[in-house]
Amino acid sequence: MTCSVLVGGAWGDEGKGKCITYLCNHDKPDIIARAGVGPNAGHSVEINGEKYGLRLTPSGFVHTDAKLLIGAGVLVDKEVLFKEFENLKKYNVSERTFIDPRSAIITDQHRQRDKSSEHLYKKIGSTGSGCGPANSDRVLRTVKLAKDIPDLEDYLLDVAFATNEAIDNGEDVFIEGSQGFALSLYYGTYPYVTSKDTTASSFAADVGIGPTKIDEVINVFKAYITRVGEGPFPTEITQKEAESMNLEEYGVVTGRRRRIGLFDMDLAKKSCMINGATQIALTCIDKLYPDCARTQNYNDLSPETKQFIENIQTSTGIPVTIISTGPDLKDTIDLRKELL
């Protein structure tokens, strides 16, 4: 029986989608529960040459025996959700996805308020998905909950009860966080942050699981850092430098060009501490060290790459258990047996 929480180590887009897909496909948890803010997230999942961009559906959907749950803390946009049900038809997602009746609902009005806000959209660089206004209405206690929406009636389930019951029955539960540590409303680069805390404790609370029941916290970092939207970014490099390193990325939700920076060890240490990380997953190592592309054995990595990984491990004191060397699930070095 294991209850794991996966979190983003920096400003989101660390490659959580790939890590979650790999881990859920490999470990086959009984329940995969989505935590985090809401459909401002964009996770990329690539499987058998097919690419999916997800905003609400748990990225672990590829494990078709799992129940897919959305926790009470998460904001639900039913248009986004139903579109994903349609796109993921062949994985039977609509038949096994359930939403906590206490999840709050994003409406058209929230999206409009987000996009027309000088402060949120222009200054902070929000995703325009309505999450900030919906969370603000939630705090003001004027928002609608999933249980108030007739279209969602067939999908309601007490997620807190279901996940706790599963843990008590010795089943495996995997909690997917979204966004990243540096976007936390409490610990991030305020005011250039999202509308909620984005650390492991909050993700557990989003789903209704208490801290004593969490066994593993997997903190995901990319081998370099990206940030969309405005705000401080200490290790940022220029677009020209990024291009010379062949690093160029665009956001899944907004299509905006991502700012690029080098790995930030100070941020990594803080992020591991406040998340209570027990493992680190490192993605896109092949983009920094192209000679490592698609490597599946640690020993086959170049000495320079190994040094980079060992530095992270030594500085944070947390084992780097998962190393991603390409977009496909096969392009993964899994050191959990050796290191844990």
57 is an interface residue for ligand IMP by CB under 6 A: no
Q: Give the residue at shortest CB distance from Mg ion.
A: 13
CB of 184 to ligand GTP, least distance (A): 15
Spatial CA neighbour of 205 closest among 156, 144, 164, 155: 164
Q: Does 15 bind ligand GTP (CB under 6 A)?
A: yes
Q: Which stretch binds ligand GTP (CB under 6 A): 105-113, 137-145, 234-242, 279-287?
A: 279-287
Q: Which of residues 306-325 bind Mg ion (CB under 5 A)?
A: none
Instruction: State the binding partner of 73 from Mg ion, ligand IMP, ligand GTP, none, CB within 5 to 8 A by kind.
Output: none
Residue 182 CB, nearest approach to ligand IMP (Å): 9
- Residue in 11, 13, 68, 164 binding Mg ion, rule: CB under 5 A: 13
Active site annotation includes 110: no
- Binding residue for ligand GTP, selected from 2, 25, 44, 201, defined by CB under 6 A: 44
Q: Is 10 in the site for ligand GTP (CB under 6 A)?
A: no
Q: Can 43 be counted among the known catalytic residues?
A: yes
**Does the protein bind ligand IMP through residue 129 (CB under 6 A)?**
yes
Least separation in angstroms between CB 255 and ligand IMP: 12
Closest approach, Cβ 284 to ligand GTP, in A, equals: 4
> What minimum distance in Å lies between the beta carbon of 239 and ligand IMP?
17
Which of positions 215-274 make contact with ligand IMP (CB under 6 A)? Answer: 228-229
Q: Which residues in the 287-306 window bind ligand GTP by CB under 6 A?
A: 287
Interacting residue with Mg ion among 42, 60, 132, 229 (CB under 5 A): 42
Annotated catalytic residues are 13, 43
